[in-house]
Amino acid sequence: MTIHSVRATTALTALAETDPALAALSLWCDHRDGDATQTRDTTITYGPEFVDLTRPEQIGLAAHHILHVALRHSARMAGLQYRLGAGFDAALWQLCADAIVNQALLLADHALPRPAVTLTGLLDSLGDPAGSAETALADWDSDRLYFRLTASGNGKAEAEAARAYARQQALADDITPSNGTNGTEPDQNSAVAWSQHLSRAMQTGRQAGRGLGLIGHIIADIPAPRTPWELILRRLLASAVMIGPQTAPHRPSRRWIATAAQAQRQGARLPGFQPGQRPLTDVPRIAVAIDASGSIDDARLSLFWTEVLGIARRLRAELHVLVFDDDIRSAQRVDPSAMTVTLPDMPRGGGTDFQPVIRAALALNAAALVVLTDLDGPTGPPPKRLSVIWAVPQAADQMPPFGRLIDLSA
């Protein structure tokens, strides 16, 4: 039988008085003594070094890990690792998560062991100081901050600056990827449950008038249960490439042959001609247009491309890739069974016009066109007989004039 942590008992008891919201959230966590202080899934282990901290620091460090659990950082880290594969930088993502958690706790008047990374400190190291700690917490969540640090262009320099800041603050690995995903995508039921726990805990804190409950409403990192964009894209493409029965005007239907034969035997009038159906031999086509002038980081491009290849393999679809800005710069047919595809290098910047790629997709007789873009350019009129899906890195309040929108930040 696993025993509740002895090392953290006093600090957890004190939370009930200092921060009712975090005290409520701590009830949903498993607290254990271990070799190191860290978080995995809903379990927090407290190492021997925990007892050497002052009482306020013990409370703050316990609160730090409780907030990791409540924000599902272990599960989200595992989910992103699954989606990005070998390209995922776990240390960089943890830096983002720790910076946000520490900033929230400092605003809630908690003490933390020094040195400690903060969101404002991280943004300062990138040369992009936040207006205030409250603004920074409202603007950034862990995933969005991570994608900024891994973006193409100046992202490499920013990632190195972030790592230097982490070393300066002696950041230690204190989040272990969740066991709960088991190599698959995150459990949405767990996300819903923790959303409910957070909502009730924050309400308790607001009513008490102290602690995390007073600033919880501004934390952008609180995950809202939502359908991953990959699942939405799969559904839309599967629906678009589904081939329905098609008539063959020169081929009579079996029913007509049977009724005509019966009419001849009986000397009756022949029934009206009923066309048959064509054999389902057509291979569906998917056109993928990549906006070379748009701003999309390498991590999301890799994630998007891996998903599209997987969909094409499952649907047995023919895949065509169009790289464009104000005109088509490259067009190639891709074998969906290929694990990797080398896209041509394109200079970033310049104008964007979606009309050439829409015309090209129509000429290919594609069932669906997926456009990876920032939506900045003329689209022309809605095309007939073509399902258009706009995949946008940061959709915000953007809305295309036609087609379906997928927000890749979701």
Q: Which of 106, 188, 119 is nearest to 148 (CA)?
A: 119
Q: Are 81 and 119 in a shared domain?
A: yes
Q: Does residue 36 form part of some domain?
A: yes
Q: Which amino acid is at 243?
A: I
Same domain, 156 and 23: yes
In a domain, 233, yes or no: no
Strands 285-291 and 368-372: parallel
* SS3 state at 362: helix
Which uninterrupted H or E stretch holds 334? strand 328-334
Q: Which CATH number fits the domain that encloses residue 394? A: 3.40.50.410
Q: CA-CA distance, 78 to 90, in Å (whole number)?
A: 9
251 shares a domain with 127: no
Tell me, yes or no, whether 240 lies in a domain.
no
* Angstrom distances, CA of residue 196 to CA of 25, 43, 193, 202, 253: 11, 19, 5, 10, 57
Pair of tokens at residue 247: 């008539």
Does residue 126 share a domain with residue 53?
yes
Does 259 share its domain with 141? no
pLDDT at 184: 45
Would 80 be classed as within a structural domain? yes
Q: Which domain holds residue 91?
A: 9-224
Same domain? 96 vs 191: yes
Between strands 368-372 and 328-334, the pairing is unpaired
Nearest to 119 by CA among 195, 223, 219: 219
DSSP state letters, 67-101: HHHHTTHHHHHHHHHHHHGGG--HHHHHHHHHHHH
**End-to-end CA separation in angstroms for the chain:** 40
What pLDDT is recorded for position 2?
66
For the whole model, what pTM was predicted? 0.68
Domain identity same for 264 and 297: no
Please list the pLDDT of the chain residue by residue as tens digits (410 residues).
568 999 999 999 999 899 999 999 999 999 999 999 999 999 999 999 999 999 999 999 999 999 999 999 999 998 888 877 778 889 999 999 999 999 999 999 999 999 999 999 999 999 888 889 999 999 999 988 998 888 755 557 888 999 999 999 888 888 988 865 444 444 555 778 888 899 999 999 999 889 999 998 889 888 766 666 777 777 887 777 665 556 667 778 888 888 888 888 888 888 888 887 765 546 688 888 888 765 566 666 676 777 777 777 777 778 888 888 888 888 888 776 665 556 655 555 567 889 999 999 999 988 889 888 878 888 889 998 889 988 887 766 778 889 988 887 66
For 123-143, give one letter per residue: b (16+ CB within 10 A) or e.
Answer: bebbeeebeebeebbeebbbb
Note whether 395 and 271 are same-domain residues.
no
Do 210 and 264 sit in the same domain of this protein? Answer: no
Task: Identify the CA nearest to 377 among candidates 400, 354, 405.
Answer: 354
Compute and round to an integer the Cα radius of gyration of the chain.
28
Q: Of how many residues is the chain composed?
A: 410
The total number of structural domains that make up the chain? 3
Say how far apart CA 307 and CA 179 lie, in whole Å.
23
Three-class SS state of 333: strand
Q: Tell whether 100 and 182 lie within a shared domain.
A: yes
- Are 180 and 187 spatial neighbours (Cβ–Cβ below 8 Å)? yes
User: From CA 102, how far away is CA 73, in angstroms rounded?
Assistant: 13
Q: Flag whether 69 is in a domain.
A: yes
Could you tell me which of 94, 82, 70 has the C-alpha nearest to residue 181?
82
289 and 273 inside one domain:
no
Residue 236: inside a domain, yes or no?
Answer: no
Does 108 map to a domain? yes
CA atoms within 13 A on the CB side of 95: 29
Environment class of 66 (CB within 10 Å of its CB; exposed 0-12, middle 13-18, buried 19+): buried
In 3D, which of 408, 289, 409 has the Cα closest to residue 352?
289
pLDDT (0 to 100) of residue 362: 92
Largest CA distance in the chain: 104
Q: Are residues 157 and 257 in the same domain?
A: no
Can you tell me the distance from the alpha carbon of 39 to that of 177, in angstroms, rounded to the nearest whole number? Answer: 9
Q: Which helix (H) or strand (E) holds 139?
A: helix 133-139
